[in-house]
């Protein structure tokens, strides 16, 4: 039996009452975090353009664009929200699965909640949790023991089509065969590549939006009777054989389904950059906090990293120490380290056009060398070593194994609230304080909501 049937059965069998409390708590964290990063990204390039395009095209006013309050067709609203939420590269991440679950699951469930009306907070949490588990398992199962970066896929987008389709199909009330068809229709659209990161272009921000737009359409087509592949995931010409040469782990994919919840391992980011940069930012921050020196006192900075980090976040080296644009900076270990040693904890203002022209940060970045240490090679979030040599002869170093926000060092709801307020403050338009406060209260007790549409009383400027 193809895994799509097993996922469909798990979606239908799982009830809110079956969800562990830590899954519910982490889902609440994800929802508040997503609304914050979507507000913060609401005026960014690519998000602006896709919103303008769909407003120009028009259509039925099914669902709301976070922040702006525009009413668009359900799939289009989800696409704009996903693009806003991914624009800062500040959205949640499953480190071992190398993907961003919430930008797919939450945007799908929010748009569907408005389309359907009357969706309770409990059913909303259930849909996000089972979707987060599925998308994480799809990533975890892929090429076990290997870094996925050399193969060129952008996993959030690639896996997002099938998962968005399944979440939307569940909320539409489809049976197991209908959910399987929706997954199959989603599979027929699967795409998403890492060249956008290499080239530092805006389509990196747009991938999850393409996925949720395609996924939601897949679910509606399945409801109308359109059939999709029955062996979409494990079939002879299914996802793992076509996209990954059959290199996957069935155990990681569906083992202990309904018992082992990967959605609880989704991390909230403390810094607005690719998650792979965070151990290095933590290490540089530790050095700065524990020692007294000025940026001009630094003679040399050594970054030691695993092979996956090197290829994705340190090459091409010139673009990482002197970013061509904010996307380069978001995907640069050297930039994150330079900001940390020059200014302290990186924030949204350190990944802008103005920031990448800052002479002080660029001067610090020019002192960086990067070396691959095979002992740091891994398949998920790789450890970090940063060494700083000062002009007075001192040699400082730090090693980080578990980054801030990772399982075992997770952010609390209060931590996420602080991040949310920082995103609100950085948004192109200001969300009134009373609405920001209302959002924090509403999401804190999300399972008590009778209709998730109430969230949009607070989530618009």
Question: Domain boundary residue among 351, 382, 400?
Answer: 400
Nearest to 97 by CA among 334, 288, 333, 379: 379
- State whether 283 and 245 are in the same domain: no
Does residue 204 belong to any structural domain of this protein?
yes
The number of residues making up the chain comes to 461
Query: Alpha carbon 415 to chain centroid distance?
Result: 18
Tokens of 126: 């259930």
Angle at the Cα of 218 from the Cα atoms of 212 and 224, rounded to 5 degrees: 145
For 201-254, the pLDDT digits (tens) are 999 999 999 999 999 999 999 999 999 999 999 999 999 999 999 999 999 999
In a domain, 308, yes or no: yes
In 3-state terms, what secondary structure has residue 122? Answer: helix
Name residue, tokens 């400027």: 461
Domain assignment present for residue 405? The answer is no
- Model pLDDT, residue 29: 98
Question: 80 and 169: one domain?
Answer: yes
**358 and 415 share one domain:** no
Question: How many angstroms separate the Cα of 84 from the Cα of each of 35, 69, 276, 298, 430?
Answer: 10, 13, 21, 37, 15
**Pair (287, 428) in one structural domain:** no
Closest CA to 95 of 381, 405, 452: 381
Q: Are residues 231 and 108 in the same domain?
A: yes
Same domain, 306 and 210: no
- Asked which of 359, 381, 400 is the last residue of a domain, the reply is 400
Domain end call among 353, 376, 400: 400
Q: pLDDT per residue over 260-292, tens digit each? A: 999 999 999 999 999 999 999 999 999 999 999
Looking up residue 325, the CATH number of its domain turns out to be 3.30.1330.120
Indicate whether 447 and 340 sit together in one domain.
no
| Cis-peptide into 79, omega within 30 deg | no
Q: Which pLDDT belongs to residue 147?
A: 86
Which CATH number fits the domain that encloses residue 88?
A: 1.10.4100.10
- Phi, psi dihedrals of residue 305, rounded to the nearest 5°: -145, 165
Side-chain-facing half-sphere of 125: CA atoms under 13 Å: 28
Are 229 and 151 in the same domain?
Answer: yes
Q: How many domains does the chain have?
A: 2
Whether the CB-CB separation of 20 and 257 falls below 8 Å is answered with no
Cβ atoms 50, 107 nearer than 8 A = no
Co-location of 390 and 427 in the same domain = no
The CA angle 451-134-333, to the nearest 5 degrees, is: 100
Give the residue numbers spanning the domain of 448: 3-270+410-457
CB 135 within 8 A of CB 97: yes
Is 266 a member of any domain? yes
pLDDT given for residue 379 in this prediction: 83
pLDDT in tens, the chain (461 residues): 999 999 999 999 999 999 999 999 999 999 999 999 999 999 999 999 999 999 999 999 999 999 999 999 999 999 999 999 999 999 999 999 999 999 999 999 999 999 999 999 999 999 999 999 999 999 999 999 998 888 999 999 999 999 999 999 999 999 999 999 999 999 999 999 999 988 989 999 999 999 999 999 999 999 999 999 999 999 999 999 999 999 999 999 999 999 999 999 999 999 999 999 999 999 999 999 999 999 999 999 999 999 999 999 999 999 999 999 999 999 999 999 999 999 999 999 999 999 999 999 999 999 999 999 999 999 889 999 999 999 999 999 999 999 999 998 999 999 999 999 999 999 999 999 999 999 999 999 999 999 999 999 999 99
Instruction: Count, in order, helices (H) and strands (E) of the chain.
Output: 20, 6
Q: Where are the alpha helices (DSSP H) in 366-444?
A: 413-426, 433-444
Residue 310: which of 333, 279, 329, 338 has the closest Cα?
Answer: 333
What is the pLDDT at residue 380?
83
Residue showing tokens 């330079």: 338
Q: Are residues 151 and 26 in the same domain?
A: yes
Please tell me whether residues 209 and 70 are part of one structural domain.
yes
């Amino acid at each position: 039996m193809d895994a799509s049937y097993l996922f469909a059965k798990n979606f239908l069998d799982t009830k809110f009452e079956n969800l562990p409390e830590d899954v519910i708590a982490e889902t609440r964290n994800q929802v508040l975090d997503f609304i914050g990063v979507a507000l913060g990204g609401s005026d960014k390039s690519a998000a602006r353009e896709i919103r303008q395009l769909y407003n120009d095209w028009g259509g039925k006013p099914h669902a709301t664009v976070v922040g702006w309050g525009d009413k668009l067709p359900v799939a289009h609203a989800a696409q704009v929200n996903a693009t806003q939420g991914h624009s800062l590269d500040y959205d949640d991440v499953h480190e071992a699965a190398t993907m961003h679950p919430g930008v797919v699951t939450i945007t799908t469930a929010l748009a569907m909640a408005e389309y359907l009306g009357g969706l309770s907070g409990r059913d909303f949490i259930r849909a996000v949790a089972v979707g987060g588990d599925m998308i994480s398992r799809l990533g975890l199962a892929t090429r076990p023991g290997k870094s996925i970066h050399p193969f060129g896929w952008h996993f959030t987008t690639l896996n997002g089509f099938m998962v968005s389709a399944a979440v939307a199909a569940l909320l539409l009330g489809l049976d197991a065969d209908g959910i399987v068809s929706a997954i199959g229709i989603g599979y027929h659209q699967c795409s998403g590549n890492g060249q956008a990161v290499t080239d530092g272009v805006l389509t990196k921000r747009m991938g999850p939006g393409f996925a949720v737009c395609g996924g939601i359409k897949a679910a509606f087509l399945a409801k109308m009777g359109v059939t999709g592949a029955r062996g979409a995931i494990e079939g002879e010409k299914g996802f793992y054989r076509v996209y990954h040469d059959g290199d996957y782990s069935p155990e990681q994919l569906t083992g202990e389904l309904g018992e082992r919840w990967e959605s609880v391992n989704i991390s909230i980011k403390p810094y607005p950059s690719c998650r792979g940069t965070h151990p290095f930012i933590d290490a540089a921050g530790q050095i700065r906090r524990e020692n007294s020196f000025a940026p001009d006192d630094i003679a040399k900075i050594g970054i030691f990293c695993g092979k996956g980090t090197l290829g994705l976040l340190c090459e091409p080296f010139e673009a990482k120490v002197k970013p061509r644009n904010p996307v380069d900076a978001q995907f640069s270990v050297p930039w994150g380290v330079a900001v940390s040693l020059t200014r302290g904890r990186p924030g949204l203002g350190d990944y802008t056009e103005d920031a990448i022209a800052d002479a002080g940060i660029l001067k610090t970045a020019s002192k960086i060398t990067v070396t691959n240490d095979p002992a740091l090679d891994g398949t998920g979030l790789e450890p970090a070593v940063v060494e700083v040599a000062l002009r007075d002869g001192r040699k400082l170093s730090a090693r980080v194994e578990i980054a801030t926000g990772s399982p075992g060092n997770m952010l609390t709801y209060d931590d996420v609230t602080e991040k949310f307020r920082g995103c609100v403050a950085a948004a192109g338009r200001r969300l009134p304080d009373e609405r920001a406060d209302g959002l924090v209260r509403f999401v804190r007790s999300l399972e008590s909501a009778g209709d998730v549409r109430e969230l949009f009383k607070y989530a618009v400027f």
